[in-house]
Every structure is written in C-alpha cells, then in structure tokens.
Structure 1
Amino acid sequence: MRIKVLGAAAGGGLPQWNCTCPNCSAIRLNQPHIKSSTQSQLAVTADDSAWFLINASPDLRQQLIDTPTLHPGPAKGFRNTPVAGIILTSADLDHVLGLLLMREFTPVRIYATRPVITILQKNSFFQMLDRLPGQSRWTEIEPGAPFDAGNGLTCTPIALSNNLPTYISEEDRASLNPTGATIGLILEDLHGARAAYLPALPSVSGPLKQLLSTCSTIFIDGTFWTDDELQRIQPGTPLARSMGHLPISGPEGSLATLRDLKNIRKIYTHINNTNPILQEQSSERRTIEDAGWEVAWDGLEINT
C-alpha cells in the first residue's frame, strides 16, 4: 500500500490568506525551517494503479496537478483519471469542497456515511456532479463495517463524532440522524498492511487505541497544540475540543494519550497554521519528535 500526503494543513492552509500569525508571517518572509502546506488531503493505492482520495480538499485541483501519478493517461482516452473513488470522513467544508472540481464529465464514486450523503445531496451545488446520467455514484458506508473499495483496498470506517458541520441549519439538524457524521478510516491491503487516518479526532477511547495499535502507520489529528490556541490569538474564537479536535499537548492530549503505542509510525496531520510544531526548530517540534512523532508535509509518501 502506498500513501501520499497531498496536503497536510488544516482548513485555510499555510499560510492562511488573512493571517499574520508567526507561522504565516514566516512563510511570507521565506524564512527557513518552515514549509508552506495545502489543505488536508490523502491519496492511497493498494495496486499502484487505482488511487483513492481520502476527502476532497479545496486545494484538490492543484494537488492533483502537482502529483504526476494522479494525472490522466493520454493513451486511455480524452478524459480519464487514476482516481477510482473518494472516501469522505465528514461533510466539513475543508473535506468536501474539492468534490465540485470533479464535475468535469468523468464518473466518480463517492463513499460516505448516511448523514454526509444526505447533507451533500441536499445542497444544489453538489448536483453539478451529475452533469451526465450516473456520473456521481454515491455509496453509503457504515461505521464499523469494512467495505471493499476495489483494487485490493479494504476500508473500515471508525465512528468518532456525531457533531454535524456548523453550516447545517437547525431545521436540517432536527431531521438528520447524526450517527457517523465524523469518521476515521483503517486502510488495509491484500497483504494485511494497515494504516489509520483520523484528521479530526475528538477523543481517544480504549477500543480506538487498541485498534490503532494494530496499524503500522497512523495519521492523527494534529490541528492544535493547545486547547486555547486560537483564543490566544483572537479572543472569542472556539476551543480546540469544542471544534472536535483533541489538542496535542497536555495530560489528556494526544501526545500523552498515545505515548505507549510502540513500533508504529506516528504522524500528525491536518495541522492548523497557528500550531508551533510547524516550526522545525521550535521546542514543541522537538517535544513530539523526541516522543517518536513526525509532522506530515505535502509530498510525503509512505509504503506500508
């Protein structure tokens, strides 16, 4: 199984267009020891031919252009793609806006839970994915139920949160069953190699921790270093936990909670532009590296 990180940043990317935090400013000044990053996006293949996108970021067009293995093949016709499907972990905007880029008359299979499919199909924007009959092929998936995506890739959705995106109206909230609103994924190939992808992790239960211990590589929510990271920059903004993101630091943060996972490649991804781990020489970066963690970056490739 090959995994490519097409984007490692949280919503807004790095630098964020309206932000003058130390990290965004450092990027604009071309300072060393920090890399720019597009919004969170993963691609995975189990046969080096068919690729599956995990989510569809707003930066997807450029990410596909920057990744030659995801280019169409001239010998395969006028319009084609090695992208065999898209697996959504939520209906959050930074996970679904890239779907609108897939409207260019090429069939696309989209795997998502029932609340995510309901939310997106109700929005007229996403009807543009059906410019041809049957162009979008929606496939419902359920937390805890493995599904065969094809081409040697098996995926198991993991229920993480029933929190619906903030853009959902109160009327729609009342009518929706939110079960499976946010999921993680266990990815497995025919040889039994397993990886986990959890870009939005609100908490770590005992069963989840046990499941992660069966993987050779885990990509974990690294959005914020502290719970009040945004509030320190702009008072009145929400806490990390209230947004469904377990912070990295602290006695109950992901670094401490997952410290006893051994012999596993552990990678933080979906990293907010304000997070100090993005600075390669920061004390926070040294803390996670000393604990055996890595920071994802655009272009990182892993073979499991």
Structure 2
Amino acid sequence: MRIKVLGAAAGGGLPQWNCACTNCSAVRNNEPNIRARSQSQLAVSAGDDSWFLVNASPDLRDQLINNPELHPNSTNHLRDTPVAGVILTSADLDHVLGLLLMREFTPVRIYATRPVISILKKNSFFQMLDRLPGQSRWTTIEPGVSFHAGENLVCTPIALSGSLPAYVREEERADLDLTGATIGVLLEEVNGARIAYLPALSSVSPSLKELLRTCSAILVDGTFWSDDELQSIQPGTAPARSMGHLPISGQDGSLSTLRDLNGMRKIYTHINNTNPILNEQSSARRQVDDAGWEVAWDGLEITI
C-alpha cells in the first residue's frame, strides 16, 4: 500500500493568503527551515494503478497536477483518471470543496457517512457533479463498518465526533443524526497492513488508542500546538479544542496522550499555518522530533 500526502496544511495552507504571522512571512521570504504546504489531502493506492483520495481539498487541482501518479493516461481515453473514488471524513469546506473541481464529465464515486451526504446533497453547488447521468456515485458508509474501495483496499470509518461545519443551518442540524459527522479512516491492505488517518481529532479514547496500536503508521491531527494558539495571535478567536482539534502540547495533548505508542511511524498532518512545529528549528519542533514524531510535508510518501 502506498500513501501520498498531497497536502499537509490545515485550511488556508502555508502561507495563508491573508496572514502575516511568523510562519507565513518566513515562507514568503524564502527563509530556510520552513517550507510551503498546501491544504490537507491524502491519496492511497493498494498495489494497482488506481488511487483513492481521502477528502477533496480546495488545492486539489494543483495537487493532482504535481503528482504524476494521478495524471490521466493518454493511451486510454480522452477523459481518463487513475482516481477511482473519494472518501470524505467530514463535510468541512476544507475537505469537500475540491469535489467541485471534479465536475468535468468524469464519473466519480464518493464515499461518505449519512450526515455528510445529506449536507452536501442539499447544497445546489454539488449538483454540478451530475452534469451527466450517474456522474456522481454516492456510497453511504457507516462508522465501524468496513468496506472495499477497489479490490485491494479495505477502509474502516472511525467515529470521532458529532460536530458539524459552521455553515450548516440550525434547522438542518435538528434533522441530522450526528453519528459519523466527523470520522477518521483505517486504511488496510488485504494482507493486513494498516494506516490510520485522523485529520480532525478532538480526543483519544482508550478504544481508539488500542486501535492505533495495531497500525504500521498513523497520521494524526497536528492542527495546533497549544489550545490558545490562535487566541495568542488574535484575541477573541476560539481555542483549539472548541474547534474539534486536540492540541499537540500540554499534559493532555496528543504528544503526551500518545507517548506510549511505539513500533510505528507517527506523523502529524493537517497543520495550521500558525503552528510552531512548521519551523524545523523551533523548540516545539525539537520536542516533536525528540518524541519520535514526524511532521508531514507535501509529497511525503509511505509504503507498507
């Protein structure tokens, strides 16, 4: 199984278009020890020429162009793609806007939970995915119920939280079953090798921790270093936990909570532009490195 991190940043990317924070300014000034990153996106292939995307970021077009494995094959048809489907982990704009870039008359299979499908299908924008009959092929998935994405890849949704995007109207929220509103995914080859992808992790339950122990690699929510990271930059903004993101640092942060997971690759991804771990010479980055964690970057590849 091959995993490619097409984008490692949280919403807005690095640099963010309207941000002059230390990290964004450093990237614009081409300073060493920090690199640009596009918005969070994963691609997975299980031993054949087909690829499945996990989410569809606003940067998807450039991410597909920058990775030759995802280019169309000119010897097949005029319209061709190795992308066999998209697995959505939530209805967050940062995870679904890229679907609108996939409207160019090519069928696409979309795997999502009931609340996510309900939210997106009620939005007229996503009707653009049906410019041809049967162009979008929605498949409902359930937390804890494994399904095959292609012949060789097994995916198991992991229920994480019942939080919904802010754009969902109150009257619509009342009608939704929030089970599976936000999920992670366990990606597994038929031979049993496993990788977990958890881009929006609000907490770590004992059962989730035991599940992570069975993996060869985990890609975990690294959005914020501290709970008050945004507040320290712009007073009045929300803390990390209230946004559904477990911070890295602190006694109950992910670095401490997951410190006893060994024998696997541990990688932070979905990293906000303000997070100090993006600077390879920062004290926060040294703490992450010393604890045996990696910090994802665009183009990182994992093979198991």
Q: Is TM (by shorter chain) over 0.5?
A: yes
Once residues 155 and 259 of structure 2 are traced to their aligned partners in structure 1, the CA distance between those partners, rounded to angstroms, is 25
- SS of the counterpart of 1:85? strand
What is aligned with 1:302?
302
SS of 2:32 mapped into structure 1: coil
Given that residues 2 and 48 in structure 1 are in contact (C-alpha distance below 8 angstroms), is that contact kept between their aligned partners in structure 2?
no
- 2:289 maps to 289
Instruction: Give 1:295's aligned amino acid.
Output: V
Q: Which amino acid aligns with 1:239?
A: P
CA contact (8 A) 1:47 1:151 kept: no
| Partner residue, 2:181 | 181
Name the residue aligned to 1:237: 237
Contact kept in structure 2, 1:7 and 1:298, CA below 8 Å: yes
Partner of 1:263: 263
Amino acid at match of 2:258: L
Q: Which residue of 2 aligns with 1:96?
A: 96
SS at match of 1:75: coil
User: Does 205-214 or 174-183 show the bigger shift?
Assistant: 174-183
Match of 1:72 in 2: 72
- 2:134 — aligned with what? 134
Superposed displacement of residue 191, structure 1:
1.5
The AA in structure 1 aligned to 2:253 is G
Cα distance, 1:48 vs. partner?
3.3
Match of 1:28 in 2: 28
Q: Secondary structure at the match of 2:226?
A: coil
In the TM superposition, residue 279 of structure 1 has moved relative to its aligned partner by 0.2
Query: Match for residue 121 of structure 1?
Result: 121
Distance 1:68 1:166 in 2: 35
Match of 1:162 in 2: 162
Q: Deviations 1:246-297 (Å, cap 9, x if unpaired)?
A: 0000000000000000111000000000000000000100101100000000
**Matching residue's letter, 1:279:** N
SS in 1 for 2:62: helix
TM-score, with structure 1 as normaliser = 0.99
Q: 1:140-159 alignment to 2 at 5 Å?
A: 140-159=140-159
2:43 is paired with a residue whose SS is strand
Within 1, Cα distance between the matches of 2:149 and 2:88? 13
TM-score by length of 2: 0.99
1:151 Cα offset (Å): 2.7
User: Per-residue CA shift, 1:143-185, capped at 9, x if unaligned?
Assistant: 0000111130000000000011110011101111111000000
Partner in structure 2 of residue 85 of structure 1: 85
Residue 142 of structure 1 contacts residue 157 of structure 1 at CA under 8 Å; is this kept in 2? Answer: yes
Distance 1:298 1:189 in 2: 23
Aligned residues: 304
**Structure 1 residues 120-151: Cα deviation after superposition (integer angstroms, max 9, x where no partner):** 00000000000000000000000000011113
- What is the DSSP-based 3-state SS (H/G/I as helix, E as strand, rest coil) of the residue aligned with 1:16? coil
In 1, the alpha carbon distance for the partners of 2:235 and 2:168 equals: 24
Deviations 1:92-146 (A, max 9, x none): 0000000000100000000000000000000000000000000000000000000
Contact kept, 8 Å, 1:186 with 1:197, in 2: the verdict is yes
State the partner residue of 1:226: 226
Whole-Å Cα distance in 1 between the matches of residues 274 and 48 of structure 2? 35
Q: Distance in 2 between matches of 1:212 and 1:8?
A: 20
Q: Which amino acid aligns with 1:272?
A: N
Structure 1 runs of 4+ with >6 Å offset? none
Distance, in Å, in 2 between the alignment partners of 1:151 and 1:275 is 38
Q: What's the Cα RMSD here?
A: 0.5
Letter in structure 2 aligned against 1:144: G
1:214 counterpart residue number: 214
In structure 2, C-alpha distance between the alignment counterparts of 1:213 and 1:156, rounded to whole Å: 15
Please tell me the residue identity of whatever aligns with 2:127. Answer: Q
Q: Deviations over 1:184-219 (max 9, x none)?
A: 000000211100000000000000000000000000
Q: Which runs of 5+ in 1 are unaligned?
A: none
Name the SS of the counterpart of 1:248 in structure 2. Answer: coil
Partner Cα separation in structure 1 for residue 19 and residue 150 of structure 2: 41
The 3-state SS of whatever aligns with 1:302 is: strand
Q: Distance in 2 between matches of 1:182 and 1:143?
A: 10
Q: What amino acid is the match of 2:25? A: S
CA–CA separation in structure 1 for the residues paired with 2:65 and 2:149? 24
